[in-house]
Amino acid sequence: MNIKKIFVVGSGTMGSGIAQVAITQGFDVILNDVNMDMLSKAKKNIEKAFSKNVERGKMTEEEKNAALDRLSLESSYDRVKEADLIIEAIYENIEAKQSVHKTISPLAKEDAIIATNSSSLSVTSIANVVSKPERFIGLHFFNPVPVMALLEIVVGLETSPEIVEISKEFASAMGKTPVVAKDSPGFIANRAGVVMLNEAIQMYSEGVASAEDVDTAMKLGFNHPMGPLALCDLIGNDIVLAVMEAFYKDFNDSKYRPAQLLKKMVAGKRLGIKTGKGFYNYDNKGKKIN
Ligand SMILES: NC(=O)c1ccc[n+]([C@@H]2O[C@H](COP(=O)([O-])OP(=O)(O)OC[C@H]3O[C@@H](n4cnc5c(N)ncnc54)[C@H](O)[C@@H]3O)[C@@H](O)[C@H]2O)c1
């Protein structure tokens, strides 16, 4: 693997998390955003996370400073040409993503790999606009990136096997476990996961069990670290509904039909932790109150 320098487009939740892990693992990272405030916020959050790691003895002060030295912030695409790997992590919109890739792919090095962190859009459709679709791939990190061990590698119609292999090595170098999926809606984890979430909502709405008992059953019966209803509240019920609706449309299969209660909760702004109300109630720090 010849990846040393990474250009990350978008410094929001995912871009900043990817940058944090990459500099920790010894990569040089150029973190890019159109919004300078997002860039400074990302850097502050990374510094804060590193300081916590130092306090907890997970990192030395020298390691923290060395990692921060590997990070630079850029509001333009001028330094795309330096990168061995470009990871786009801007908001989830196909036109916006295609527009970014159309602009950056001609600026990239001959042998650079270009990736998208999209969680639901077709890698093949985004690759449509790039100059070398065979060097384009999906690298789907999970949130929060420093904590989540999984990296889904999403193989587009034109992606070359060599790029898949390099991506697997890159995943390991980032301390993540790779799984490889064809470009198909939801890839692996989200496709299976949301059906389980939806079924839990359905059972709760039928009065089969209380929210607590549905969650406890899945935690203890399936060894899940958190219950499906608490997880919906964490993800945001609006996001869960949007994903279900997209799958329902893409697969035209009733197993993806969103539960009526999920629709009602979204209409009533019971979105979960972010609105303080979902399947459970939360205080303004996001702590469950009942
Ligand atoms: N948030 C999650 O839980 C999660 C998990 C896995 C994957 N994803 C995927 O990761 C991607 C990013 O999601 P996020 O939650 O980090 O979004 P976000 O809204 O937190 O951040 C997006 C950032 O992109 C920047 N941006 C927008 N247009 C840009 C451009 N043209 N050039 C440079 N920067 C630009 C914005 O200013 C913003 O800072 C999406 O595709 C999403 O589906 C998100």
Within 8 A by CB and 6+ apart from 77, the residues are: 9, 32, 103, 104, 107
Question: Encoding tokens for residue 27?
Answer: 């990569």
Q: How confident is the model at residue 237 (pLDDT cuts 50, 70, 90)?
A: very high
Q: Which atom of ligand 1 is nearest to the CA of 13?
A: 16
Ligand 1 centre to CA of 115 (Å) is 13
pLDDT at 1 over 80: no
Give the Å distances, CA to CA, from 10 to 49, 124, 204, 256: 19, 20, 38, 31
The question of whether 119 is a catalytic residue gets the answer yes
Ligand 1 centre to CA of 199 (Å) is 29
Q: How confident is the model at residue 120 (pLDDT cuts 50, 70, 90)?
A: confident
pLDDT of residue 285: 87
The question of whether 101 is a catalytic residue gets the answer no
Superfamily of domain 5-182: NAD(P)-binding Rossmann-like Domain (3.40.50.720)
Q: Which residues pair with 28 in a beta bridge?
A: 5
DSSP 8-state class, residue 273: G
Looking at residues 154-163, what average pLDDT do you find?
A: 98
- Distance CA(45)–CA(20), nearest Å, equals 9
Q: 126 near 101, Cβ under 8 Å?
A: yes
Name which residue sits closest to atom 41 of ligand 1, judged by CA: 118
Q: How confident is the model at residue 119 (pLDDT cuts 50, 70, 90)?
A: confident
pLDDT tens digit sequence for 262-287: 999 999 999 999 999 999 999 998 89
Q: Is 100 helix (H, G, I), strand (E, B) or coil?
A: helix
pLDDT of residue 239: 86
Pocket of ligand 1 (CB under 6 A): 9-15, 32-35, 38, 89-92, 96, 100, 117-119, 142-143
Q: What CATH class has 189-275?
A: mainly alpha
Q: Is 181 helix (H, G, I), strand (E, B) or coil?
A: strand
Q: Which residues of 224-255 are buried (b: 16+ CB within 10 A; e: fewer)?
A: eeebbbbbbbbbbbbbbbebbebbbeeeeeee
Mean pLDDT over the full length of the chain:
96
Q: Which atom of ligand 1 is nearest to the CA of 88?
A: 11
Which of 16, 105, 190, 237 is an active site residue? 190
pLDDT tens digit sequence for 71-105: 999 999 999 999 999 999 999 889 999 999 999 99
Within 8 A by CB and 6+ apart from 60, the residues are: 54
User: What's the distance, CA 240 to chain centroid?
Assistant: 14
pLDDT of residue 191: 94
- Distance CA(127)–CA(113), nearest Å, equals 12
> What is the side-by-side order of every strand in the sheet holding 113-116?
71-74, 28-32, 5-9, 85-88, 113-116, 136-141, 150-155, 177-182
Surface-to-core class of residue 1, CB atoms within 10 Å of its CB (0-12 exposed, 13-18 middle, 19+ buried): middle
The question of whether 152 is a catalytic residue gets the answer yes
Q: Give the helix/strand (H/E) hosting 104.
A: helix 94-104
Q: Which atom of ligand 1 is nearest to the CA of 11?
A: 39
The question of whether 140 is a catalytic residue gets the answer yes
Q: Which atom of ligand 1 is nearest to the CA of 100?
A: 31
Per-domain residue ranges of the chain: 5-182, 189-275
Within 8 A by CB and 6+ apart from 188, the residues are: 152, 179, 181
Flag the least confident range among 6-20, 191-205, 238-252, 264-278.
238-252
pLDDT tens digit sequence for 127-150: 999 999 999 999 999 989 999 999
Name which residue sits closest to atom 3 of ligand 1, judged by CA: 143
Looking at residues 172-200, what average pLDDT do you find?
A: 96
pLDDT of residue 3: 97
For tokens 């999984």, name the residue.
Answer: 150
Name which residue leads in pLDDT, 119 or 265.
265
Tell which one of 91, 119, 240 to mutate to probe ligand 1, the residue whose CB is within 8 A of the most ligand atoms.
91
Name which residue sits closest to atom 30 of ligand 1, judged by CA: 34
